[in-house]
Amino acid sequence: MIRILVVEDEREIRKMLEMFLKHKGFDVITVENGKRAVEIMEKEKDSINVVITDILMPEMDGITAVKEIRKSHFLGPIIMLTAYSDKEMLDKAAEIGVDDFISKPVNFELLTSRINMLMSKYDFYTTKNIIAKKVKEEACISKEIIKQLHDKNEQLVMEMIKILNVVSEYRDDETHEHTLRVGWVSSKIAEEIGLEKAKVADIYFGAQLHDIGKIGIPDRILLKPGKLDEEEYEIMKGHTIIGYNILRESSTSLLKTAAVIAKYHHERWNGKGYPEGLKGEEIPIEARIVAIADSLDAIVSKRPYKRARPLTEAFEEMKELSGILYDPKLVNALFKVKDNICKFYQSKMQELKHVY
């Protein structure tokens, strides 16, 4: 059963929300202010699916409450009830982690449909909130870039819903963590070579969709515990084109970058990669960056067909294949941020596992 935390200071509205939502089959907890909501979340976070909160409340307002709730690693959808149409206030709420808004007086049927929609796209909203959290933690992009991305939010969200709704059917949790790590390492290489912050942001997000085309690869191939035969390998290579076809129609710079990465991240510096056999700087820079981050993380990851190897071996392999499979300038950049990457793999991985 879906469990909802309702945060509303007006007793009559709070009781009406509780009665209506229970009538619709939801399990409901109600509190009268943000302070109580934060206290409840500290104890009940793992059992709550959705938070519905007012903005103006005594003791702790809705904005402050949402900030504290997100700090507690709650990744589910948050709906804000508001009588405001102030764009600055709504932008602030969205930036701190509010996923949807319902105007007061509350249309209860609309509220129900919004809750059902949020739950049907639950994987999307949790993933979106994870990404927003990690971006802020790693200072990957500036507040200005966050605002630029937020200004494109409506169009971007609709496109991401379509994509991540498909991705949610791909059930390999380890692969999901792999994509997050590849995004992080890629952003560090991109920063080191001096790319603009907006481009770094696009690579950070886009790299996380580099293997999205694998949703079109049969499990008998994708999860095979042994080496692929020639026919199976040809089918596996098709994930680059599948991913590109999923992403290519986007009008946003972020997903355009993701499309390029998806298609070309298996191209190699010596021209012996796929799907087009591009060589050297013919390969787009974002794909060359992700090729290094992807390979580095693949080496240290356990897969059905291989054991995980130490990070030291991964760096040695990158050095040996520099100028052969990988852009030597980018490998050099990788080694300049080596200490940072080692710390990430030693400490941040535990944090990621805690979040998931």
Same domain, residue pair 32 and 76:
yes
Could you tell me if 115 and 171 lie in one domain? no
CATH label of the domain that carries residue 216: 1.10.3210.10
Residue 127 lies in a domain: no
Reply yes or no on whether the pLDDT at 354 is more than 80. Answer: no
Average pLDDT over residues 186-194: 95
The CA-to-CA distance between both ends of the chain, in Å, stands at 21
Buried b (16+ CB within 10 A) or exposed e, 235-259: ebbbbbbbbbebbeebebbbbbbbb
Q: What is the CATH number of the domain that holds 50?
A: 3.40.50.2300
**Looking at the predicted structure, is the pLDDT value of residue 193 above 90?**
yes
| Pair (47, 99) in one structural domain | yes
Closest CA to 113 of 21, 43, 181: 21
More confident residue, 303 or 232: 232
pLDDT for 86 equals: 62
Name the most confidently modeled range: 62-66, 252-256, 306-310. 62-66
The pLDDT, as a whole number, for residue 284 is: 97
Backbone angles phi, psi at 282, to 5 degrees: -65, -30
Q: How far apart are CA 239 and CA 227, in angstroms?
A: 17
Q: DSSP strand E in 64-210: where? A: 78-82, 100-103
- Cα 167 from Cα 210, distance rounded (Å): 12
> Going by DSSP bridges, is the β-strand pair 27-31/78-82 parallel, antiparallel, or unpaired?
unpaired
Instruction: Name the CA radius of gyration of the chain, rounded.
Output: 22
Q: Which two tokens stand for residue 244?
A: 């590109």
Q: What does the mean pLDDT of the chain come to?
A: 83
ω into 275 cis (within 30 of 0): yes
Tell me, yes or no, whether 116 and 257 share the same domain. Answer: no
Q: pLDDT (tens digit, 9 = 90+) per residue, 129-184? A: 776 666 566 555 455 555 555 555 555 554 564 565 455 445 454 555 788 889 89
Pick from 99-103, 106-110, 138-142, 319-323: least confident: 138-142
Domain C-terminal end among 65, 86, 120:
120
Instruction: Find residue 6's DSSP bridge partners.
Output: 30, 52
pLDDT at 271: 97
Is 189 inside a domain boundary? yes
Q: What percent of the chain has pLDDT over 70?
A: 81
What average pLDDT does this structure show over 110-131?
A: 78
For residue 136, is it within any domain?
no
Residue 195 has pLDDT above 50, yes or no: yes
With respect to residue 134, please indicate whether it lies within any of the assigned structural domains: no
Same domain, 114 and 150: no
Backbone angles phi, psi at 209, to 5 degrees: -110, 15
Q: Is residue 241 a part of any domain in this protein?
A: yes
- Tell me the longest C-alpha to C-alpha distance in the chain: 70
- How far is Cα 30 from Cα 24, in angstroms, rounded to an integer? 16
How high is the pLDDT of residue 353? 43
Check residue 109 and give its pLDDT. Answer: 87
| C-beta of residue 145 within 8 angstroms of C-beta of residue 136 | no
Residue 312 structure tokens = 């030291």
Sheet of 3-7, strands arranged across = 27-31, 3-7, 50-54, 78-82, 100-103
Residue 293: both structure tokens together? 């981050």
Contact call for residues 240 and 225 (beta carbons, < 8 A): no
Distance CA 251, CA 297 (A): 30
Q: Are residues 95 and 156 in the same domain?
A: no
Same structural domain, 86 and 177: no
Query: What is the number of domains present in the chain?
Result: 2
50 shares its domain with 192:
no
Task: Summarize pLDDT for 259-277 with one digit per residue, the tens.
Answer: 999 999 999 999 999 999 9
Question: In this predicted model, what pLDDT tens digit does every residue of 319-353 receive, in sequence order?
Answer: 999 999 999 999 999 999 999 999 888 865 554 44
**CA–CA separation, 186 vs 286, rounded Å?**
8
Q: Which range among 215-219, 301-305, 349-353 has the greatest average pLDDT?
A: 215-219
**Strands 100-103 vs 50-54: parallel, antiparallel or unpaired:** unpaired
Rounded to the nearest 10°, the torsion over CA 74, 76, 77, 79 is -40
Q: Are residues 348 and 235 in the same domain?
A: yes
Q: Which residues contact 149 (CB under 8 A, 6 or more apart)?
A: 141, 156, 201, 254
Looking at the chain, the whole-number percentage of residues with pLDDT higher than 90 is 42
201, 254 Cβ separation under 8 angstroms: yes
Q: What integer pLDDT is reported at residue 26 of this predicted model?
A: 93
pTM of the model: 0.57
Say yes or no: 156 and 219 in one domain: yes
Confirm whether 166 is domain-assigned: yes
Q: Do both 109 and 163 map to the same domain?
A: no
> Would you state the pLDDT for residue 339?
93
* 271 in a structural domain: yes
Q: Which domain holds residue 284?
A: 142-355
Pair 16, 89 in one domain: yes
Among the ranges given (9-18, 182-191, 290-299, 346-355), the one the predictor scored with the smallest mean pLDDT: 346-355
Question: How far is it, in rounded angstroms, from Cα 84 to Cα 95?
Answer: 16
Residue with the bigger pLDDT between 257 and 149: it is: 257
